Each structure stands twice: as structure tokens, then as C-alpha cells.
């Protein structure tokens, strides 16, 4: 039997794409392996958000190329966003690569490998409690720093029936949580008057005990109707990931984000008012071209004002083809970017701890996700990680846990009888 090893970089959408590739490959007789040395087919599923990630991908396939040159009988595939962005250029840089495949070409994988035509296969999901289900792909927003509209193309939503079928199958297979994925998940359009709130309602109506999440939300696509659905539907978790990117309206404008600081603050206020205990997480960029110290301080102040529960942070990294990459005269030095990034992280840590401490003494429902050395790890509905001393592996179960302590990154808890 042939074996395939896939190394996945980047976001959940890539993880979901990997599951789709594995589903197809399994149909053609491949089994997935975690041991790259034993694989006949090696695939790297790349991310182009940052230069570092792209460099890592080339360094990884460089090692595979060395093995091939020494006579190993392996096939090497280069997939994902860097594949879309660079295309055939990749063969020049890495001539040992057998095929380059963009994310929107995954269905053609069998033809690419010369083993047949694309079957209608289910994704091969990893053995976790959570099933990722993409509902839309691509982006129409063209933020000036972002490569995604060039790598993932324009927005395309999947058919509601297909999504609902996949969700029903995942629940029947025992998955306890469904996460709907999309670059701008809240601009999903499944037909006339069929937007994300209606999809959530239809998913919520599927029988069984499970949770529903959705990521990532574009701030101004969060409608009152969506907030109301999230507040009302019992299976939809109290969790919103809403990237803000900067707390300065001027920088937001330069980023081509379609909202002001005040509008973002107002959206978060609406979400917090409608949904008690909601966790709101965000993304921020440190050192966007031309960002002044004052403008950067506006980012720190909005993080504190909104008490954002967690923030992904990154120093600005110019990406080829994007508008901001041409503003070289406005680029900030590496030192300034890293120093600002450190301050963003410090504020993230402070707000994270503050947010976690609020739950000490409360009893929360967790979904157990893993067990190691006498510690069960689970997640609350509002996406807080909880570690619980436990004698048995209860992965996959919903449990009531009394929160006994809080650290910056997780809560501690005790099982309730």
C-alpha cells in the first residue's frame, strides 16, 4: 500500500484542504502516515501570509529533494497558497518537485498523479472531536497588506445542502463540534436570503449534542441578524474571531479595511451586549508601513478598551503583488516592528489573564479534547482551554467543570460529580 505524508502550514483552511486531499488519496489506495521517511508521496501544503512561512516550506522540500537526488523513490507535491502565487516558478527553484497544485485544483489531484478522475469523496478528518467544514473560500476585500485575494481568488460559497450533508455525516461519525470556515465566513451566501444566520439555524436543527463555531468574521459583515442567531441558537458557541488589524482609523484606511476604530468598537459592544460571556479574539499587525508611534498607541488602547480576550499578532511582512509592498519608502525598521510587536504581545498577555480570571469559581461545560499524563484538556463554549486532573481519558465527552484557577493561556478546573 502506498503511503502519503502531508505537511500542513498556516490556517485552518489549509488543514481542511489537507483533509480533503487525504480523502481523495485514500480512495486511490494511499494511507496517511506521520512518518515522512516511510512515505511514497510527500506533499507540502503551504501558507503565503508571511515570508518566514514561505521560506520554511522551501527549506523543507529542499530536504526531500536531497533524498530524491540520493535515489529515494518518492514523489513531491507543492500545494497551497504559495503554489497559487508562484505557479511554475517553483519548478525553477526546486526542480525535484513533481507537481505544483493550487488550493482550487485539489479536485484534480487524481489526474495530476495519473491515477484517475476525481471521485466524490468525504474529507479524511483527523482524529479529533472537531470537524472543520469550509463554507466559503476566497476574498473580495483586497486589504493592502494581504495576499489571500491573489492566492485564494474571489469569494465563492458552497451549496448549503452540501455543507449540511457534510455536517450530518460528521455528527454521525461522532464529531462533537463543527467549525465553519471561511476567509470571511460572515459573507457566506448560499442562495437568495440564505446567509450565515440561516445556515446556523439549519445546522442547529440537526439532532444530537454538538457545538457549532464559525471563523473568521470580517467586522462589518457581522449583522444584527447574525448576532441574534448566535445569541439564540443553543449549539452556537459564545465565540467571535474578529480581526481588527489596527486601532487607528488612518491606518485602517491605508490598509483598505472598510471600518473605522469607532465602528469596530460598536460591533464588539453589540456582540458583548447580546451574548453574555462571549469571547472576542482579534488579529493585529505591528509596524504597518507609515505607522507612527501615536497610531500604534491607538492599537494598544483599543485592545485595553475592548478587553479583547486574545489577539494574534504579527510584525508587518511585505507580500509580493500587494499594494502596501510597493510603499518601501514608508517601511519601518525591523527593530521598530519587533519592539511594537513585543508591546502588542505584552497587552495580549495582560488582557488574556484578566479575561481568564473572570471565570474562576464558575462551573462551565467543557468538551474534552485530549488526555495526557493524568491531565484532561478541554475547551469551554467560549473557547477557553481548561486543564483538569483526571484518572481516565474522557476525550469526546461534555463535562461540567469547576474553574479553580487561571493562568495567561489556560484555566485550571476540577470535574464536578
Judged by beta carbon, residue 203 or residue 311, the one nearer ligand SF4 is 311
Q: Taking a C-beta distance cutoff of 8 angstroms, is the pair 310, 131 a contact?
A: no
Instruction: Output the smallest distance, CB 380 to ligand SF4, in A.
Output: 27
CB nearer to ligand SF4: give 148 or 386: 148
Q: How far is the CB of 247 from ligand SF4 (least distance, A)?
A: 16
Return the residue matching grid coordinates 473580495.
140
The residue ranges that bind ligand SF4 (CB under 6 A) are 139, 141-143, 146, 148-149, 183-184, 218
Could you please report the per-residue DSSP string of 42-88?
EEEEE--SSHHHHHHHHHHHHHHHHHHHTT---EEEEEEHHHHHHTT
Q: How far is the CB of 379 from ligand SF4 (least distance, A)?
A: 25
Shortest distance in whole angstroms from residue 55 CB to ligand SF4: 20
Using the minimum distance from each CB to ligand SF4, give the nearer residue, 138 or 378: 138
Helix 196-204 × helix 160-172 angle, to 10° = 30
Q: How far is the CB of 246 from ligand SF4 (least distance, A)?
A: 12
For residue 39, give the C-alpha cell.
512515505
Of residues 10 and 413, the one with the C-beta less far from ligand SF4: 10
- Tell me the pairing of strands 398-406 and 156-157: unpaired
Q: Are strands 177-181 and 211-215 parallel, antiparallel or unpaired?
A: parallel
Count Cβ atoms within 10 A of the Cβ of residue 336 and give its class: 0-12 exposed, 13-18 middle, 19 or more buried.
middle
Nearer of residues 142 and 409 to ligand SF4, judged by Cβ: 142
Q: How far is the CB of 10 from ligand SF4 (least distance, A)?
A: 12
To ligand SF4, the closest distance from the beta carbon of 266 in angstroms equals 19
Residue 374 — φ and ψ, nearest 5°? Answer: 75, 10
Closest CA to 280 of 243, 248, 228: 243
Shorter beta-carbon distance to ligand SF4: residue 137 or 356:
137
Nearer to ligand SF4, 49 or 230 (CB): 49
**Cell numbers linked to 303:** 485592545
The dihedrals phi and psi of 74, each to the nearest 5 degrees, come to -130, 155
For 32, 94, 212, 367, the CA distances from 172, given in Å and listed in that order, are: 23, 43, 15, 17
Report d(CA 329, CA 281) in Å as an integer: 32
Nearest to 241 by CA among 281, 276, 291, 202: 281
374-382 CB contacts, 8 Å cutoff, 24+ apart: 376/415, 380/411, 381/211, 381/237, 381/238, 381/239, 381/277, 382/237, 382/238, 382/239, 382/277, 382/278, 382/279
Distance, in Å, from the CA atom of 380 to the CA atom of 271, rounded to the nearest integer, reads 18
Q: For ligand SF4, which is the closer residue by CB, 125 or 319?
A: 319
Residue whose CB is less far from ligand SF4, 246 or 380: 246
Q: How far is the CB of 16 from ligand SF4 (least distance, A)?
A: 15
> Residue 216 CB, nearest distance to ligand SF4 (Å)?
7
Amino acid at each position: 500500500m502506498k503511503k502519503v505524508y502531508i505537511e500542513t502550514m498556516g490556517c485552518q483552511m489549509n488543514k481542511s484542504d489537507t483533509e480533503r486531499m487525504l480523502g481523495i488519496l485514500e480512495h486511490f489506495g494511499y494511507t496517511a502516515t506521520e512518518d515522512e521517511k516511510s512515505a511514497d508521496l510527500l506533499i507540502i501544503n503551504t501558507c503565503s501570509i508571511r515570508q518566514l512561512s514561505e521560506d520554511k516550506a522551501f527549506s523543507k522540500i529542499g530536504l526531500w529533494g536531497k533524498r530524491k537526488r540520493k535515489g529515494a523513490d518518492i514523489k513531491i507535491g507543492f500545494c497551497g497558497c504559495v503554489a497559487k502565487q508562484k505557479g511554475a516558478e517553483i519548478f525553477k527553484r526546486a526542480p525535484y518537485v513533481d507537481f505544483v497544485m493550487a488550493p482550487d485544483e485539489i479536485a484534480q489531484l487524481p489526474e495530476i498523479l495519473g491515477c484517475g478522475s476525481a471521485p466524490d469523496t468525504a474529507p479524511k478528518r483527523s482524529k479529533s472531536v472537531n470537524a472543520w467544514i469550509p463554507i466559503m473560500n476566497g476574498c473580495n476585500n483586497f486589504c493592502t497588506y494581504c495576499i489571500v485575494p491573489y492566492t485564494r481568488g474571489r469569494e465563492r460559497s458552497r451549496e448549503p445542502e452540501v455543507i449540511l450533508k457534510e455536517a450530518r455525516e460528521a455528527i454521525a461519525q461522532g464529531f462533537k463540534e463543527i467549525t465553519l470556515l471561511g476567509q470571511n465566513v460572515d459573507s457566506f451566501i448560499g442562495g437568495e436570503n440564505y446567509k450565515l444566520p440561516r445556515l446556523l439555524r439549519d445546522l442547529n436543527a440537526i439532532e444530537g449534542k454538538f457545538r457549532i463555531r464559525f471563523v473568521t468574521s470580517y467586522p462589518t459583515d457581522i449583522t444584527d441578524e447574525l448576532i441574534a442567531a448566535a445569541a439564540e441558537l443553543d449549539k452556537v458557541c459564545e465565540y467571535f474571531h474578529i480581526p481588527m488589524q489596527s486601532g487607528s482609523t488612518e491606518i485602517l484606511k491605508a490598509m483598505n479595511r472598510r471600518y473605522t476604530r469607532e465602528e469596530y468598537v460598536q460591533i464588539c459592544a453589540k456582540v458583548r451586549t447580546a451574548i453574555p460571556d462571549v469571547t472576542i479574539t482579534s488579529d493585529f499587525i505591528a509596524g504597518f508601513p507609515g505607522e507612527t508611534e501615536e497610531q500604534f498607541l491607538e492599537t494598544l488602547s483599543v485592545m485595553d478598551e475592548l478587553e479583547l480576550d486574545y489577539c494574534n499578532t504579527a510584525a508587518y511582512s511585505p507580500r509580493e503583488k500587494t499594494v502596501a509592498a510597493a510603499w518601501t519608502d514608508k517601511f519601518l525598521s525591523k527593530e521598530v516592528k519587533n519592539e511594537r510587536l513585543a508591546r502588542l504581545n505584552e497587552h495580549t498577555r495582560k488582557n488574556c489573564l484578566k479575561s481568564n480570571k473572570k471565570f474562576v469559581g464558575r462551573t462551565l461545560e467543557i468538551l474534552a479534547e485530549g488526555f495526557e499524563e493524568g491531565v484532561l484538556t478541554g475547551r469551554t463554549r467560549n473557547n477557553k482551554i481548561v486543564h483538569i486532573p483526571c484518572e481516565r481519558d474522557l476525550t469526546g465527552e461534555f463535562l461540567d467543570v469547576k474553574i479553580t484557577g487561571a493562568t495567561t493561556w489556560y484555566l485550571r478546573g476540577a470535574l464536578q460529580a
